[in-house]
Amino acid sequence: DMYSQDGDADEPEWVKTEREQFVEFRDKNRDGKMDKEETKDWILPADYDHAEAEARHLVYESDRDKDGRLTREEIVDKYDLFVGSQATDFGEALVRHDEF
């Protein structure tokens, strides 16, 4: 629903990719639309740990010396990243912990 042809006969590559994803993976019962369960599986896949992925992202983006540990300075330097993260409850966890 985000793409409008507007007279253009050629679809952009991202539209083709999304169409393939829909047909191959999202529309599991092949009825041409996504029902509640198909939408749920797409948004919250059972085999994907969102919290772990977010935590890995925060460490990857913030760990300047790449030692796998975050110092107070590394966290403060990337404060905006942590405040915007679901892993820190949008910054609330930073206030509740003395170590931050």
Confidence bin at 62 (pLDDT 50/70/90): very high
- The residue behind tokens 């403060």 is 76
Rg of the chain taking only CA atoms, in angstroms: 20
Q: How many helices (DSSP H) and strands (DSSP E) are in the chain?
A: 6, 0
Residues 35 and 61 in one domain: no
Residues 27 and 57 in one domain: no
Count of CB atoms situated within 10 Å of the CB of 82: 20
- With a cut of 70, say whether residue 23 has pLDDT above it: yes
Residues 36 and 58 in one domain: no
> Looking at the domain assignment, is residue 98 inside a domain?
no
Residues 61 and 37 in one domain: no
> For position 99, what pLDDT does the model report?
52
Confidence bin at 87 (pLDDT 50/70/90): low
Q: How far apart are the first and last CA of the chain?
A: 43
Q: Report pTM.
A: 0.46
- With a cut of 60, say whether residue 4 has pLDDT above it: yes
Domain span including residue 30: 13-43
State how many domains the chain has. Answer: 2
